Amino acid sequence: MIITDVWFGIIAIITIMTIIHCDTYHDCGASCKCLKTSGSKRTICNGYYIPNLPVSASEIEIRNSNLTDIGRLDLINLTLHRVHELLFSGNSIRHIDQEAFVNLTWLTVLTINNETSLNVEVLKQALTKVSSKFLKKLRFTNNNWQYLPNDMFDSFKNTKIKKVYLTGNQFSSINGSAFRIFTLCERLVLENNQLTKIYFWKMQRLKSLRLERNRLAKVPNFCSLHDSLFPRLERLSLSYNNIGNIDKTSFICLPKLKDLHLKGIAIVELQNNIFSSLKKLKYVNLEMINTLKRIEDFAFNSTSIKKILMQYCKFRFDIIERFNPVTIFKFCPNVNYVNLGINYLPSIPNILYSMFIPLENLETLKLYSTNLVYLPRNLLNNLRNLRQLSLNDNKLHNSHLSSDIFGNITSLKSLDLSSNLISIMTKTFLSSTLLNSLEQIHLGDNPFSCTCDQKWFLEWIKQTKVKIVGYPNRYKCRYPKELNGQYLKSYNPTDDICNPWNPLYTIAIVLPLFGVSILVIFIFIWICQNNIKNSVYLLRVVYNHIQGHVALDERLNYEYHAFVVYCDADREWVHNVFLQRMESEEGIKLCIHQRDFDIGKNITGNIDKYLEKSWKVVVVMSNDFAKSEWCQWEVDVVQERRRLQGKDAFLLIMLKTIDSKHMTSPLRTLLESTPHVRYQAGVGEDLFWRVAVKSLQKPIGLPPVAVL
């Protein structure tokens, strides 16, 4: 008994040493390497011949060798092995003897790759001696074959092959009868050929068919005389072909299809009911790059679809003539994933709301790089299952966002608002309910203002358990200029800095009533002076309307109501007050250079381009504006508009009175020849807004209004 145990121990040690011997690249010959991968023994050779290899080697690769002719005896050294995988790649093989593979009876995978000198007829003859008893996979890829013989695989009797790869060749057409012997085949890959025609043969077990990167001009026929050629097909890829049309009959013979890939095809229109016959369809990829122009009302008429991918289409969802926002997703209520990235979404909130309201089961919504400026209020109220929302790379400004948009949704776990125009994160921006449910939020690459208004956000970052994606590296100050580029994490506003208390405030509170009264009277007189001027301006505009001087509405020829000229020091008022009032409440679309200009183009080119797109010009003036040489240059540029169209093409706003020492000659000329209004917060502010709105709505070419 002891002797038996000793012998077993010796045998175990010898076995272990043999494995280690192979794993450390010994005993494989000078031109081969042995290594262990995933429990198998793989041998890679690149010499003039195949040397004696360890008996344990089961996966043999012959790569970039000088074997041009594989004779009957060249593979004789492998006859003692249980070779499961055999691969030839890049060897410039010209001939394979018909008896070369005769003794490889354990073969399960055969790969011939990048053998461009090997004639397909030569390989066909060699395959007649391949044992197909255990063969499961064939890979004949990148061999530059011009055709596939119809009897290529006829020698495989009772084959159990389940996967066939014929990629990267030069086939212009294939007759599916070549695959008739593969009765158990589940995956057929014919991608990256030159196919313009293909005629299929019935394959009962086929589950995956890949035809991407060919030249097919139409969807192949999947129907036999009586039923489907592929009754069990679950995955079909037609991506990157020349297919120009798909209709409701294209896929009617694929009853089990679950995944459909149509990426990169040149479809112009998604017709009604093209997916309605696919009762098992779950996933559809429609990344039709820059060709899709119209989506019909019932295009997505399918209750089985779960995922819709339409990124990179550059489809104009902002042109309602091309689709119906009410019906586009109305008939696919079970969709839980939608990706519309890199398209054009509308700035009209009601349209956006109508698009997504039917998707009650939506879990993931990706709207990145869609030129979004606004989000409708209560957008997510109906999306009670939404877990991931991506709004990155848009033009969302913090003044356009509020807790009303996100509602009290508790399902959302991931929110991406990176690379927008958000400068301040306030407590009212995201509801406490949402913040408590989030697991991660991404706000990186926004133009943050490092001011006291940011204090709440900085304190929230320190105490929250929500993952702040990209923090701190992608969170930097943009304003003020002296802090530009500084990490937001390094900015620490304290209560003493943000809320200073001066003892003089106490003295001011108890000042004699007489002094306060004088101050109130002075302020009242000052306010009334501006309001009287603004009132006269408004009355004259209204009077001219009453007299019947109404010009044609030339605004329809312009993309923007007005181009706004202002200095950076007045940016907060322009963005947070003027822009918010005019666009959100009055519906007047303004061109703002920090939001609308084309990235990467020079500033002068942008100004010329967007001036042509704007009906009028708004100039916001102040001391800082008068001191800015750049602003003076802009005044000179827009003066040409004044000379061509008259003063009605302008709205001059005196935000802050300009000191006489800063008043320039061009500014004085502009003010003397064009009416202007003064902004005054508080009393009379409503009058200012009425004047501003009337002025921007007033048609160009009315009878002159006297300078105020």
Please state whether 204 falls in left (phi above 0), alpha (psi between -120 and 50) or beta. alpha
Question: pLDDT tens-digit profile of 414-462?
Answer: 999 999 999 998 888 888 888 888 999 999 999 999 998 899 999 999 9
pLDDT level of residue 664 (50, 70, 90 thresholds) = confident
Show Cβ contacts of residue 586 under 8 Å, excluding neighbours closer than 6 positions. Answer: 693
Q: What is the residue type of 45? A: C
Question: pLDDT tens-digit profile of 619-635?
Answer: 999 888 888 888 888 88
User: Residue range 227-237: average pLDDT?
Assistant: 96
Is residue 612 helix, strand or coil?
Answer: helix
Dihedral through CA 496, CA 499, CA 503, CA 506, nearest 10?
-160
Within 432-546, residue ranges assigned H as helices are: 432-437, 455-463, 495-498, 503-509, 513-546
Question: pLDDT tens-digit profile of 690-701?
Answer: 888 888 888 876
pLDDT level of residue 249 (50, 70, 90 thresholds) = very high
Q: How far is CA 441 from CA 78, 405, 466, 490, in A?
A: 58, 16, 7, 20
Pairing relation of β-strands 109-113 and 283-285? unpaired
Place of tokens 């006859």: 79
pLDDT of residue 644: 79
Is residue 256 helix, strand or coil?
Answer: coil
pLDDT of residue 467: 95
User: Residue range 658-667: average pLDDT?
Assistant: 83
Confidence check: pLDDT of 229 > 70: yes
Structure token pair of residue 41? 């023994």
Confidence check: pLDDT of 329 > 80: yes
Show Cβ contacts of residue 507 under 8 Å, excluding neighbours closer than 6 positions. Answer: none
- CA dist 38 and 25 (Å) reads 16
Confidence check: pLDDT of 548 > 60: no
pLDDT level of residue 675 (50, 70, 90 thresholds) = confident
Confidence check: pLDDT of 529 > 90: no
pLDDT of residue 555: 59
pLDDT level of residue 526 (50, 70, 90 thresholds) = low
Beta bridge partners of 442: 416, 469
Confidence check: pLDDT of 552 > 50: no
More confident residue, 574 or 540: 574
Place of tokens 């390094």: 490
Confidence check: pLDDT of 268 > 60: yes
More confident residue, 337 or 578: 337
Which stretch of 15-29, 77-91, 558-572 has the lowest confidence by average pLDDT?
Answer: 15-29
pLDDT level of residue 123 (50, 70, 90 thresholds) = very high
Which stretch of 125-139, 403-417, 496-510, 542-556 has the lowest confidence by average pLDDT?
Answer: 542-556
pLDDT of residue 551: 42
pLDDT level of residue 323 (50, 70, 90 thresholds) = very high
pLDDT of residue 476: 94
pLDDT of residue 83: 83
pLDDT level of residue 23 (50, 70, 90 thresholds) = very low
Q: What angle do CA 557, 559, 563 make, to 5 degrees?
A: 110
Average pLDDT, the chain: 84
Pairing relation of β-strands 294-295 and 269-270? parallel
CB 462 within 8 A of CB 491: no
The proportion of the chain whose per-residue pLDDT surpasses 90, expressed as a percent, equals 45
Beta bridge partners of 36: 41
DSSP line for 662-683: G--HHHHHHHHHS-EEE--SST
Q: What angle do CA 562, 568, 572 make, to 5 degrees?
A: 80
pLDDT of residue 311: 93
- CA dist 422 and 398 (Å) reads 5
Confidence check: pLDDT of 272 > 90: yes
Length of the chain: 708
Which stretch of 413-417, 544-548, 553-557 has the lowest confidence by average pLDDT?
Answer: 544-548
Confidence check: pLDDT of 380 > 60: yes
The proportion of the chain whose per-residue pLDDT surpasses 70, expressed as a percent, equals 84
Beta bridge partners of 339: 309, 366
- What pTM value is reported for the model? 0.66
Is residue 175 helix, strand or coil?
Answer: strand
Q: What is the residue type of 340? A: L
User: Residue range 259-285: average pLDDT?
Assistant: 95
In terms of Cα–Cα distance, which of 253, 198, 208 is closest to 228?
253
- CA dist 376 and 382 (Å) reads 12
Task: Tell me which DSSP letter residue 19 carries.
Answer: H
Q: What is the residue type of 347? A: S
Question: pLDDT tens-digit profile of 572-619?
Answer: 998 988 888 888 888 889 999 888 888 888 888 888 888 888 889 999
- CA dist 680 and 692 (Å) reads 12
